[in-house]
């Protein structure tokens, strides 16, 4: 397990991370972490470290804060980075962003001001990571995804190119790389996309468990 006991983990992103988390800080009451993969990660870690036989495992007392906001692109993360990341002084940071950067190019093709090009995406994410990484014990970069098994689908193909940028940034900055698209693809070999997400983007509980499992495997947690 890469994340040490008593660490503070901030998880930031868009609606997939948000999932109705508490405001202004996603921490506190029982539903403060929302209803998605962030809460599942928290629950699995807490379950493991409360088992009598595993009381010494380094998953104990990991403090998770959800700072996802629905509709966000990497531009939005830049605008709130100081208050929603740096001011929280995390030990570990997890970033999953890019779905809306791509989606706006398909659902709002004429509203170019809402779209984030691949070049801008890479430049912005690189800047955020490079300026923040020295202050962290660890960083997790999760790819955006599209729950579509056909790699030639236009939106899936574009999402893959944004995911490749995430891969390159992760390896250049000694970050844990989590390929969420690959995690979904393994399941899509046996099930239809709509059994995981009605719009192929916002997952149901099964889809969020796929994300949680991919994250936990990335940081070396096993159960």
**Which positions are catalytic?**
15, 199, 202
For tokens 């962290």, the residue is 136
Q: How many other C-beta atoms are found inside a 10 Å radius of the C-beta of residue 124?
A: 18
User: Are 58 and 9 spatial neighbours (Cβ–Cβ below 8 Å)?
Assistant: no
Angle of helix 37-49 versus helix 205-218 axis, rounded to 10: 60
For tokens 């390929």, the residue is 179
Take residue 132 and report the two structure tokens written for it.
């923040």
User: Are 129 and 111 spatial neighbours (Cβ–Cβ below 8 Å)?
Assistant: no
Which contiguous run of DSSP H or E holds residue 114? none
Partners of residue 96 on adjacent β-strands: 13, 142
């Amino acid at each position: 397990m890469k994340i040490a006991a008593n660490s503070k983990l901030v998880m930031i992103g868009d609606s997939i991370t948000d999932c109705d988390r508490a405001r202004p800080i996603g921490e506190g009451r029982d539903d403060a972490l929302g209803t998605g993969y962030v809460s599942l990660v928290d629950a699995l870690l807490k379950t493991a470290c409360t088992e009598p036989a595993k009381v010494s495992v380094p998953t104990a007392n990991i403090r998770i804060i959800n700072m996802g906001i629905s509709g966000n692109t990497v531009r939005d993360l830049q605008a709130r980075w100081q208050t929603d990341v740096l001011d929280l002084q995390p030990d570990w940071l997890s970033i999953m962003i890019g779905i809306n950067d791509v989606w706006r190019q398909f659902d709002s093709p004429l509203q170019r001001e809402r779209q984030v090009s691949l070049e801008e995406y890479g430049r912005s994410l690189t800047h955020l990571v490079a300026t923040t990484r020295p202050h962290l014990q660890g960083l997790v970069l999760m790819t955006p995804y599209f729950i579509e098994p056909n790699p030639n689908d236009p939106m899936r193909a574009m999402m893959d190119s944004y995911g490749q940028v995430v891969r390159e940034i992760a390896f250049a900055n000694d970050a844990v790389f989590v390929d969420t698209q690959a995690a979904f693809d393994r399941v899509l070999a046996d099930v239809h996309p709509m059994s995981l997400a009605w719009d192929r983007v916002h997952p149901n509980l099964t889809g969020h468990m796929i994300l949680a499992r991919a994250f936990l495997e990335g940081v070396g947690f096993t159960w």
